[in-house]
Amino acid sequence: MESADLKRLGLKVTHPRMKILELLETSEARHMSAEEVYKALSNAGEEIGLATVYRVLTQFETAGLVIRHYFENGRISVFELAETAHHDHLLCVKCGKIIEFSDNIIEERQKVIAEQHGFSIKDHCLYIYAECTDYKNCEYYEQYLQNQ
């Protein structure tokens, strides 16, 4: 992603926007809340206000650059770079690990179901909540506990 991409979207290439984009691209976590983005930038010495983080992420969402998720139980929303193709999510409720997947059979059935009811499908989200086999040894577990 480069400054030209922002320009193309009609957004000025500002420092906060570039830094947020950069973070989303380089961060290990593919899904981050506004607060997490804010803190990560803060830790990196970037003084970018939380309000700006929200504004920029919302603009990116509108521009189709990021996807915003409202995972169940969570009042907070998380953002993900929209660089990859559509996918759904499989989440471990114990360690917070998130697996992305895509299944043609499910996608196809959804279309059929919508049609059967006379609806034209615009969007959908499928979240599978599960337990991974070995969450205690999972790389995410410790970090997850901290956030609880």
Partner DNA sequence: ATGTATGCAAAACATTTGCACCTGG
Partner DNA sequence: CCAGGTGCAAATGTTTTGCATACAT
- Residue 144 Cβ, how far from DNA at the closest point, in Å? 14
Token pair 């279309």 is found at 111
- Residue 143 Cβ, how far from DNA at the closest point, in Å? 16
Q: Which stretch binds DNA (CB under 7 A): 2-10, 85-93, 111-119, 126-134?
A: 2-10
> Which residue in the set 29, 30, 39, 58 belongs to the binding site for DNA (CB under 7 A)?
58
Rounded CA separation 85/98 (Å) = 16
Cβ proximity of 39 and 21 under 8 Å = no
DSSP designation for 84: S
Of residues 39 and 89, the one with the C-beta less far from a second copy: 89
**Residue 77 binds DNA (CB under 7 A):** yes
> Which residue in the set 21, 23, 56, 65 belongs to the binding site for DNA (CB under 7 A)?
56
- Residue 51 Cβ, how far from DNA at the closest point, in Å? 3
DSSP designation for 83: T
Assign residue 25 a region: left if phi > 0, alpha if psi is -120 to 50, beta otherwise? Answer: alpha
